[in-house]
Chain A
């Protein structure tokens, strides 16, 4: 044994010497070390995605959305109270329930402000993963979402509160299906895909998929860029009014957050929607083109802030519920979204990771953890549905408890009572654009201090690290 160890050691020593010598002596252009600056220049994800595109020749389906942290959540901090307002006594329970669509004939009340985001059976997740999500949501007293799919009977039965997407594939768009829902979300876009069309090829469609989507054998599943039957704003308005009249449940609109936000919201309010779901540019997906994920949309933080201001201007605050989603992976960012005006949040990526939980060991080290839950995954049969539901329930409980702790420290008795006045920001631009107070200066000196600071334009990679950001004089001075 010792002989073998010495032999391996000698071989490795020789190999390392050779490699180091070449690293030092070879021309830089012929040197493996050239990959280091190339990697730094291009970035590791871009580097691998260039190679994947060159191999596949078609848009590459990156899972779980953009890795870029567009929304500067970390520049916001909650402000605890001690004397001027007292913290909430620990005996007082923090109210966590939220009513979605309070003006609907049958509003939807959830026990916690976190819901499970739209992740479709087949297009994204396996049946067992969808059932685990539904079971966990039911145990937590919250809602889960169908995603762009047909109505899966088992999921409907497992979910006490089930939001279904009236979708661009048309698979949920008949009365026999949407009349079984607790809320209807008209899906016109999503953060990770914009309003682009999507196609699931026949090779990825199994028998159970065909059954739920009512597809013929050999027929692909196509999500159109437009909702079938909705070619004008007026078509949309008529659709919302019809669905509200027919069902009585909250009817909402989901879009990819966009700089055209207010124009889109104006039509939605005219239609009389009960809720708005805004999916920020950070939104995840089972697999989408990196360009749609990284270069399209508006970050969640900006979208929620603008939408909340817009609803206030239109007198719709408290009448039309606002749901934030996209890149909300910590309880802190979820609560900040609520403080900025969201009534509730959807989580996707975090829910999936929490669901996998301890079952991660089944895939390590040779398979990706997601192979347990995605429809086309190699290990979907290995997922223990009840264990997954328990893991997600624990995660939801822990997350809401952390939010409750913050509420207690802010002297609030309900998560819904937390507002922008409970926040400060370290970022002067965020202070100016959101109305949140700037943490660098006292409350009564905000305007003077902010007017002395020029606007900055950080690269998303450098949000929070202003040293490297480009600065320019503000035209607002």
Chain B
């Protein structure tokens, strides 16, 4: 029982951290996108290439956000299952 509680705490910790990574990814994606906007103000090919890299980085952070969402949903499910299991034991 103690082990299950420990596991639940670990899952809650992972869930909280993943949600935090999700938020950070969203913020950084916005920053990268702003960089793209600024860098494309100049008519210089090297800067445009950097801008394209920034935009791609922004989208990859979007993908990280999506992965975090998927993972946090899975962890949520695991916690719910553990709660159900504990409930069954009590009854």
Contact = CB atoms under 8 A, between A and B. Distances in A.
Interface stretch (A146-154, A390-398, A421-429): A390-398
Interface string B53-91: 101101110110111001000000000000000000000
B60 A397 contact: no
A97 B30 CA distance: 15
A389 B49 CA distance: 11
B23 to A, nearest CB: 14
B52 A111 contact: no
Interface of A: 93, 95-97, 99, 102, 107, 109-112, 139-141, 390, 393-394, 396-397, 400-401
A393 B52 contact: yes
B56 A397 contact: yes
Interface string B33-65: 100000000000000110011011011101101
A393 B62 CA distance: 17
Interface of B: 29-30, 33, 48-49, 52-53, 55-56, 58-60, 62-63, 65-67, 70
B49 A99 contact: no
Given A99-B70, A102-B70, A109-B66, A141 B49 contact: no
Nearest to A112: B59
Contacts of A394: 48-49, 52
A93 B63 contact: no
A141 B67 contact: no
Contacts of A102: 70
Nearest to B33: A93
A400 B52 contact: no
Closest A-B pairs by Cβ, 8 of them: A141-B60, A97-B63, A111-B63, A111-B59, A97-B66, A111-B60, A397-B52, A109-B67
A139 B29 CA distance: 15
A95 B63 CA distance: 9
Contacts, number: 51
Given A95-B62, A96-B62, A109 B70 contact: yes
| Chain A interface helix/strand/loop/mixed | mixed
Given A93-B29, A390-B49, A141 B56 contact: yes
B56 A139 contact: yes
A331 to B, nearest CB: 14
18 contacts: A93-B29, A95-B66, A97-B62, A97-B63, A99-B66, A99-B67, A102-B70, A107-B70, A109-B63, A109-B67, A109-B70, A111-B59, A111-B62, A111-B63, A139-B56, A141-B56, A397-B55, A401-B55
B37 to A, nearest CB: 10
Nearest to A110: B63
B70 A97 contact: no
A156 B21 CA distance: 28
Contacts of B56: 111, 139-141, 393, 396-397
A394 to B, nearest CB: 6
A57 to B, nearest CB: 48
Contacts of A96: 59, 62
Nearest to B52: A397
A343 to B, nearest CB: 13
A107 B58 CA distance: 21
B49 A93 contact: no
Contacts of B65: 97
A470 B40 CA distance: 50
Contacts of A397: 52, 55-56
A93 B66 CA distance: 14
